[in-house]
């Protein structure tokens, strides 16, 4: 018998593809548009959401039987705000320049509809372990799209990945630039993130007829 049952494993695998929070549930689009011009920012935001959603789901699950229904949203906001503060302070301590780049977007994790949605739809009705798996699964599904968008936007928009020049030097005209390649500045604009997400959605749905029928 494996570590996870088939039902538990699905909590992690389903959000990676057929129930992806961004491409299928259409949640968390704002950060996909705002911070994916650089791959590093995409990765850090993904790790931040992974921490907040994984831990947050567990906390809400543990409190689910004692939270009065009328104030459950307030309690959820307090829990996620506390976790976001931890993330923000860690970034400022160990990656100050990056924390300035992400700035307000880290704080906006508090209102990320993926997080609040999983609190409401899953953590309030399930135990801590399954809630943790659900949080990790949805955060990974979010991360896959965010990192994919960040990868293509930085590569095609700046010719770099994680700040390293991978296509050559545009000034000295080496690598692909020697063949006449030019960086696509439009990829660094927010609307291009929406177009990249749209292409990912199109590819995903074209490979899964069930999604097209839905």
For residues 32-49, average pLDDT: 86
Count: domains in the chain:
1
User: What pLDDT, on a 0 to 100 scale, did the predictor assign at position 1?
Assistant: 39
**For residues 199 and 204, what is the distance between their CA atoms, to the nearest angstrom?**
9
**Is residue 39 in some structural domain?**
yes
Structural domain boundaries enclosing 179: 21-204
For residues 161-170, average pLDDT: 91
56 falls in which pLDDT band (50, 70, 90)?
very high
pLDDT of 129 strictly over 80: yes
**For residues 147 and 35, what is the distance between their CA atoms, to the nearest angstrom?**
10
Q: What's the whole-model pTM score?
A: 0.88
**Is residue 6 in some structural domain?**
no
**Is residue 124 in some structural domain?**
yes
Token pair of 166, please? 């991978």
pLDDT of 137 strictly over 90: yes
**Is residue 16 in some structural domain?**
no
Q: Where are the alpha helices (DSSP H) in 65-189?
A: 72-94, 96-102, 104-107, 113-121, 128-158
**Is residue 56 in some structural domain?**
yes
**Is residue 40 in some structural domain?**
yes
**Is residue 177 in some structural domain?**
yes
């Amino acid at each position: 018998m494996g570590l996870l049952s088939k039902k538990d494993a699905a909590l992690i695998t389903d959000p990676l593809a057929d129930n992806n929070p961004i491409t299928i549930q259409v949640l968390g689009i704002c950060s996909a548009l705002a911070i994916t011009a650089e791959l590093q920012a995409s990765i850090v935001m993904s790790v931040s959401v992974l921490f907040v959603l994984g831990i947050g789901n567990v906390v809400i699950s543990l409190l689910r039987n004692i939270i009065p229904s009328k104030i459950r949203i307030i309690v959820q906001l307090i829990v996620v705000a506390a976790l976001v503060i931890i993330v923000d302070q860690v970034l400022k301590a160990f990656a100050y320049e990056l924390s300035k780049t992400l700035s307000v977007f880290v704080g906006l994790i508090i209102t990320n509809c993926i997080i609040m949605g999983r609190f409401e739809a899953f953590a309030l009705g399930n135990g801590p372990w399954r809630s943790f798996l659900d949080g990790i699964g949805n955060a990974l599904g979010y991360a896959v799209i965010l990192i994919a968008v960040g990868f293509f936007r930085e590569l095609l928009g700046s010719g770099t990945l994680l700040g390293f020049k991978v296509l050559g030097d545009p000034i000295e005209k080496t690598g692909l630039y020697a063949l006449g390649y030019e960086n696509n500045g439009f990829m660094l604009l927010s609307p291009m993130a929406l177009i990249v997400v749209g292409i990912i959605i199109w590819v995903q749905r074209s490979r899964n007829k069930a999604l097209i029928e839905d």
